[in-house]
């Protein structure tokens, strides 16, 4: 899979010594290994989406074969992206991930636009969307009213931000435990549905069709599916704190994505086993409905409500781990932006005792809490996916550009399947964005508008810094 060189530790060498050490990054500790880095990726990615998006996929696709194809295509796109970005993650193992890749390939302006978009849209939307799902399910479990949801969402962001400011080790420990627990719990759900469920009640008993209701609707559903897979690149943001990154980053990225693909396909198979497509398409709580159906079909109706409650608890656990991972990784982009003097310098501060980018974490948390206060889940999720995807496309394209512009750089890992794998990713990305522009022009153009608004902001910032 990878081509590891013979330099000590397999770590990539940046030819610029000043950048390699970094003003702020030199004060961060490389402590994360393969397992912790992969756990961050898996924990961020498996959040709330797998409990909501399957109903969207069923409604838009309309046939069993098209639903399965959606999840397979989504997994392939995420895997191709991870296989490609692993080359850049090993080549430039610094805090900021995609921000660094864009800076090295295209210069400071595109990198600034990514940081700008992440500051205004991606980071707060991501934190807000995950926190809202966590709070909604927790409020239901505790019997609290709707008024408590936003309070709970803001509280959990604040608590996890405090834990990650206190120690990278604390954040990693929370991530390791929560990721292990959620994967085990999801596996238990799948096994239970297959053991107790009646396959004659589900989609597998229906005629199999492979053509979706419309290919445009298929493309819109793919955006939703890609939202559940999003997180496959987030581990790169914390590259400056990964030990032996030349070896660790490629292995963690690829292993993490493969785990996610297997989990998602298994969970969807369990849903489809006991729920017909029409019921799945109309379900607001598809995992709970699948559990209720499975436990209620063979004389065990008493376990139906209990199964639904257990699934709700699983959602709370899953979103808690996803939120913690997002708070661990996302602020490192703001940290790198400030460390390059493209944002306020205090944001690049490292805590003298805890050795964490505490100001960047605090800023990200405050913005997330602010978005929770004024936006709905749907608005948050839509803003997030349309804001991040153009930068994924540019980052993958950067692999081609850097191989041409800087062939002399030592590459501990080279993209498996190059150039076919990154080309397939680029084609899928362009098709998805083009379809979104046609089918949802308003939100798509708004996302592009936010990105382009960063251009005058960049030049104003440069003018401000010169003064």
The residues pairing with 32 across neighbouring beta strands, listed in sequence order, are 242
- The CATH number of residue 163's host domain is 1.20.1740.10
> According to the model, what pLDDT value does residue 122 have?
76
* Assigned domain for 384 exists: yes
* Assigned domain for 1 exists: no
The residues pairing with 238 across neighbouring beta strands, listed in sequence order, are 95
User: Over its length of 467 residues, how does the chain's per-residue pLDDT go in tens digits?
Assistant: 333 333 333 333 444 433 344 445 556 788 889 989 999 999 989 987 888 889 888 888 888 999 999 999 999 999 999 999 999 999 999 999 999 999 999 999 999 999 988 877 777 877 887 888 888 888 888 888 877 888 999 999 999 999 999 888 888 888 888 888 889 989 988 998 898 888 888 888 877 777 887 877 788 888 889 888 988 899 999 998 999 999 999 999 999 999 999 999 999 999 999 999 998 988 877 887 888 887 765 444 445 566 667 777 888 888 898 899 889 998 999 999 999 999 988 999 998 888 899 999 999 999 888 877 665 544 545 555 667 888 999 999 999 999 999 999 999 999 999 999 999 999 988 888 888 788 778 777 877 888 888 999 999 998 887 75
* Assigned domain for 249 exists: yes
Question: 467: helix, coil or strand?
Answer: coil
- Inter-helix orientation angle 331-339/98-106, to 10°: 40
Query: Is 347 exposed, middle or buried, given 0-12, 13-18 or 19+ CB atoms closer than 10 A?
Result: buried
> According to the model, what pLDDT value does residue 263 have?
95
pLDDT digits (tens, 9 = 90+) for 138-177: 888 888 887 788 899 999 999 999 999 988 888 888 888 8
How many degrees, rounded to 5, is the angle at CA 61 between CA 58 and CA 67? 65
Which structure tokens are listed for 348? 């690049």
Q: Which domain holds residue 252?
A: 32-466
* Assigned domain for 24 exists: no
> According to the model, what pLDDT value does residue 299 have?
43
* Assigned domain for 17 exists: no
* Assigned domain for 120 exists: yes
* Assigned domain for 407 exists: yes
d(CA 25, CA 29): 8
Number of domains making up the chain = 1
Which structure tokens are listed for 54? 């399957």
* Assigned domain for 105 exists: yes
d(CA 153, CA 400): 41
């Amino acid at each position: 899979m990878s081509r590891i060189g013979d330099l000590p530790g397999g770590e990539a060498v940046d030819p610029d010594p000043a950048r390699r050490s970094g003003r702020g990054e030199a004060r961060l500790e490389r402590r994360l290994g393969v397992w912790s880095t992969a756990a961050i990726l898996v924990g961020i990615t498996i959040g709330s989406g797998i409990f909501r998006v399957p109903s969207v996929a069923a409604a838009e696709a309309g046939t069993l074969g098209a639903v399965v194809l959606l999840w397979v295509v989504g997994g392939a796109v995420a895997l191709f992206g991870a296989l490609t970005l692993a080359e850049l993650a090993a080549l430039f193992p610094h805090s900021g991930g995609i921000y660094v890749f864009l800076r090295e390939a295209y210069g400071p302006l595109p990198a600034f636009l990514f940081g700008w978009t992440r500051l205004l849209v991606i980071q707060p939307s991501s934190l807000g969307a995950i926190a809202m799902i966590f709070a909604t399910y927790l409020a239901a479990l505790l019997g609290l009213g709707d008024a408590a949801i936003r309070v709970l969402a803001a509280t959990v962001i604040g608590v996890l931000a405090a834990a990650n400011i206190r120690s990278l080790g604390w954040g990693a420990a929370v991530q390791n435990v929560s990721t292990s627990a959620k994967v085990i719990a999801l596996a238990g759900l799948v096994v239970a549905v297959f053991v107790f469920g009646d396959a004659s009640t589900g989609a597998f008993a229906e005629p199999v069709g492979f053509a979706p209701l419309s290919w445009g609707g298929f493309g819109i559903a793919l955006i939703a599916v890609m939202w559940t897979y999003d997180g496959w690149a987030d581990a790169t943001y914390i590259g400056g704190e990964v030990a032996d990154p030349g070896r660790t980053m490629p292995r963690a990225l690829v292993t993490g994505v493969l785990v996610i693909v297997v989990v998602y396909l298994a969970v969807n198979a369990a849903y489809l086993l006991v729920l017909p497509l029409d019921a799945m398409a109309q379900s607001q709580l598809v995992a709970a409905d699948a559990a209720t159906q499975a436990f209620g079909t063979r004389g065990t109706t008493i376990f139906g409500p209990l199964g639904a409650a257990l699934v709700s608890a699983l959602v709370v656990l899953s979103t808690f781990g996803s939120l913690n991972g997002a708070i661990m990784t996302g602020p490192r982009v703001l940290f790198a932006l400030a460390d390059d003097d493209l944002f306020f310098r205090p944001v690049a501060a490292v805590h003298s005792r805890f050795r964490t980018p505490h100001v960047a974490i605090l800023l990200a948390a405050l913005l997330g809490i602010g978005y929770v206060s004024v936006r709905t889940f749907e608005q948050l999720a839509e803003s997030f996916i349309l804001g991040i995807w153009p930068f994924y496309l540019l980052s993958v394209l950067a692999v081609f550009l850097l191989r041409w512009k800087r062939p002399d750089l030592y590459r501990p890992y080279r993209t498996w399947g190059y150039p076919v794998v990154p080309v397939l990713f680029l084609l899928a990305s362009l098709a998805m964005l083009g379809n979104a522009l046609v089918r949802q022009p308003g939100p798509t153009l708004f996302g592009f508008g936010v990105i382009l608004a960063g251009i005058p902001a960049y030049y104003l910032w440069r003018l401000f810094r010169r003064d």
